[in-house]
Structure 1
Amino acid sequence: MLVASRSTPIAADRSVPGLIVKIGDYPLHHGGVGAIRSLGRLGVPMYAITEDRWTPAAVSRYLRGGFVWPTTGRERPEELVEGLLRIGRSIGRPTVLLPTDEEAAVLVAEHAEQLSGNFLFPPVERELPRRLASKQGLHELCVEHGVPSPEALFPSSYEEIEEYAGRARFPLVAKNREAFERRRRPAVHGTTRIAGPRELLALARGWGPSPGVILQEYLPREQAEDWIVHAYFDAESTPLAMFTGVKVRSWPPHAGMTANAYVVDNPELADMAAQFIKQIGFCGIIDLDWRFDRRDGRYKLLDFNPRMGAQFRLFENEAGIDVVRAQHLDLTGRKVPEGEQLAGRRFVVENIDLPALAAYRRSGYTTPHAPARASGTELAWVARDDMKPFFTMLARFVRPGVRHLWQLWRSRRAAALVE
């Protein structure tokens, strides 16, 4: 079998553009910038939906055109679909869609019939992305197919939580049940660790008569390892690109976005993920979060993102293929070159890894499987051939902090004058 090498040019179809699709206000998204660079370097015309003209994605040298379209995630689906169709008509030719969030992935899947004339995307089952993005839907699928996941409760009333508090094993974590709640009125902000029954009941009083939360088993970090799987599956749920890695740091610590990660070969985990995808019939790009529980020796699936992950550029095979390139090649009828993943590669998100490093050092937590030395480092923002996104990120990232310090200085100065 002939396997392409990194010196062999990747034969991308340059007549088919790519479009970064996002819903919501998160301008500092390095995943979108990574996708623009990845396909843009192959000569694929790249377009993106942006919050304004001065987001990092909007200033990339590889962006052919940007569409300023601020959204909140609270718009009616019909409005969002019509907006996408307008963009499609403006581009003027079939375009590969690249969602960067669950809302966009679900929207595309649930309105595939309307969007298919203008866009190319995997033919995933209509209801599947929404179910996978839901904590409850994912847990039910894991139970159905025998995939380990943390023990969980989906309470329907305060009384149920009250009864559970008397028998639960603490600490535990609370998360929003549905992926989209963060855009509306979330019951909790991110992953919330709950120390005991009194704290649980105090929080639950604010969740209303129908709590939109999941109460989940806490996997102690000193007894666990965080693993990630990224892959692209074709219409037959066959993996055309499969990668595994270990998360070293995240921000916020232990519960947020990946700040630092390494590629580490894990055939067992890759096989588990591929089997699960085959069973549920998913196709497209996936970003999975697993936690290895050393207490029982099992990998437990925490999150299933039915779209590209922000850290996807961590992973590349010997032929230069990442999941975004794999999808574009497959949807345009090109062969996806095979190759082993480049083990030992490191991915660093510059603006969040520094505070994450400080937090992890204070906690004394280390990642056992992280290599002592990286075989190569991929930075989320800095790229020699495309520096404007980095400087734009820096300006937007630093400005709120400078403003906060200025306001603090003024308030203290005013207080001193009053005294």
Structure 2
Amino acid sequence: MSFDVDRGVPGLIVKFGNYPLHHGGVGAIRSLGRLGVPVYAITEDRWTPAAVSRYLKRAFVWPTTGTEAPERLVAGLLRIGRRIGRPTVLIPTDEEAAVLIAEHQAELEGQFLFPRVEPGLPRRLASKEGLHDLCVKHGIASPAAFFPRAYEDVERFAATARFPVVAKNREAFVRRKRPAVNGTTRIECREGLLRLAREWGERPGVILQEYLPREDAEDWVVHAYFDAESAPLAMFTGVKVRSWPPHAGMTANAYIVDNPELADLATRFIKEIGFSGVVDLDLRFDRRDGQYKLLDFNPRMGAQFRLFENESGIDVIRALHLDLTGRPVPEGEQLTGRRYVVENIDLPALLAYRRSGYTTPHAPARASGTELAWFARDDLWPFLMMLVRFVRPGVKHLYQLWRTNRRGATAKPR
């Protein structure tokens, strides 16, 4: 690798909430750790996969729920910063962390390094309603959406809607309260929608979107890093082959695929909104009208970011560290055909997709290389710890996700 990294500036993986099996955090630890950069991480306990990585200098055990007051979380970050004892690059792995950092830049500066951004922008981007409004303002295609404010609004929508429709939580921070729906829920009919809506309370915290038929759509992702001028220093595009739950959840299998049109669309949008930092975008290409429709904008690293690397060895986390420490970010073509597999969820996803008969047209016939989310010959403990923590509760959780997704997909009138 032909770039000079500042090994005197550590990185800190910042995560809030209880999700110990997070392969993205492990990937970030390995990405910087293999370059000799000291990496610290906030973990739920001392026995998470991230906490046992050979590349982690120290785990700061700090169980959080995502419901804490921002002042408490900021104070906790500052305490960790003082214990590290030198300026440290912050690497958020969830929306709560990304929003907290953006909204409390004044308190965190000095002890930490992070991209500067308009304080309210990450919260708008993480919100389904805020993102929809930005898409409309800047001419970015997105699924037709409706935001009910009361049950009566749902009734009016149901009277004229074309089913199936998709229900999602309006705000990203569903851990702060009981979510209205468990992830993306497909609703087949008017009666099914009204039945679900009765459980949403006086103010439904949902977005109702048009359903993009899977037989007429393709799932694409963009991972990138943008500098202080909103210029892309690292830009990657890929196609999602499988997710879990099927067609509606976390990426289980994906490939790097060159897509200049998609890269240009993302670059234009991010330049116009003035965002700086790491992004993870989910888009669906609708073959019926030939448009890429933006589904999600995550203003932080995505869990599958290690899929994406260029010929110079740059991924988005390395680009972030290099840029914030004043180093140039080497250019290079992305490693087209490279594959990413999340071992613990790809097998059930593979079985589900085979039953449905769905395939991704743009997936290469053969991978040019494979990056596994958990297994690494030079860092075995995270993989082994994942197995220990996943097998019993993980299988039960996968089953519950599948059942929830299935119930949403097959809701019928009584």
Same fold (TM over 0.5): yes
In the TM superposition, residue 402 of structure 1 has moved relative to its aligned partner by 8.5
Unaligned 5+ segments in structure 1 are 1-5, 405-419
Residue in structure 1 matched with residue 248 of structure 2 by the alignment: 255
- How many residue pairs end up in the alignment? 397
Specify the SS of the correspondent of 2:173: helix
User: Which has more radius of gyration?
Assistant: 1
Q: 2:166 aligns with which of 165, 168, 173?
A: 173
Q: What whole-Å deviation, never above 9, does each CA across 1:241-270 have from its counterpart, x for those lacking one? A: 000000000011111100000000000000
Residue in structure 1 matched with residue 82 of structure 2 by the alignment: 89
Specify the SS of the correspondent of 2:252: strand
Q: 1:160 aligns with which of 145, 153, 178?
A: 153
Residue in structure 2 matched with residue 196 of structure 1 by the alignment: 189
Question: RMSD of the TM alignment (CA)?
Answer: 1.1
Distance 2:295 2:396 in 1: 37
Q: 1:130 aligns with which of 108, 118, 123?
A: 123
Distance 1:242 1:33 in 2: 21
Q: Which of structure 1's runs of 4+ aligned residues deviate more than 2 A?
A: 399-404
Partners of 1:24 and 1:183 within 8 A in 2: no
Distance 2:161 2:222 in 1: 31
Asked if 1:307 is matched to 2:300, the reply is: yes
Q: 1:268 aligns with which of 252, 261, 265?
A: 261
Unaligned 5+ segments in structure 2 are 398-414
Residue in structure 2 matched with residue 150 of structure 1 by the alignment: 143
Residue in structure 2 matched with residue 417 of structure 1 by the alignment: none
Report the more deviating stretch, 87-96 or 183-192: 183-192
Report the more deviating stretch, 283-292 or 155-164: 155-164
Asked if 1:395 is matched to 2:388, the reply is: yes
In the TM superposition, residue 11 of structure 1 has moved relative to its aligned partner by 0.8
In the TM superposition, residue 400 of structure 1 has moved relative to its aligned partner by 2.5
In the TM superposition, residue 401 of structure 1 has moved relative to its aligned partner by 6.1
The one-letter amino acid of 1:377's match is T
In the TM superposition, residue 182 of structure 1 has moved relative to its aligned partner by 3.5
Q: What whole-Å deviation, never above 9, does each CA across 1:285-312 have from its counterpart, x for those lacking one? A: 0000000000101000000000000000
Residue in structure 2 matched with residue 368 of structure 1 by the alignment: 361
Distance 1:98 1:344 in 2: 27
In the TM superposition, residue 117 of structure 1 has moved relative to its aligned partner by 1.6
TM-score (norm 1): 0.94
Residue in structure 2 matched with residue 216 of structure 1 by the alignment: 209
Q: What whole-Å deviation, never above 9, does each CA across 1:12-42 have from its counterpart, x for those lacking one? A: 1000000000000000000000000000001
Distance 1:61 1:183 in 2: 33
Identity of aligned residues (%): 79
Partners of 2:66 and 2:175 within 8 A in 1: no
Residue in structure 2 matched with residue 327 of structure 1 by the alignment: 320
Residue in structure 2 matched with residue 236 of structure 1 by the alignment: 229
Distance 1:320 1:401 in 2: 33
Asked if 1:28 is matched to 2:29, the reply is: no
The one-letter amino acid of 2:103's match is E
Distance 1:401 1:376 in 2: 28
Q: What whole-Å deviation, never above 9, does each CA across 1:73-100 have from its counterpart, x for those lacking one? A: 0000000000000000000000000000
Partners of 2:65 and 2:175 within 8 A in 1: no
Specify the SS of the correspondent of 1:203: helix
Distance 1:253 1:74 in 2: 29
Specify the SS of the correspondent of 1:166: helix
Partners of 2:257 and 2:337 within 8 A in 1: yes
Distance 1:206 1:380 in 2: 37
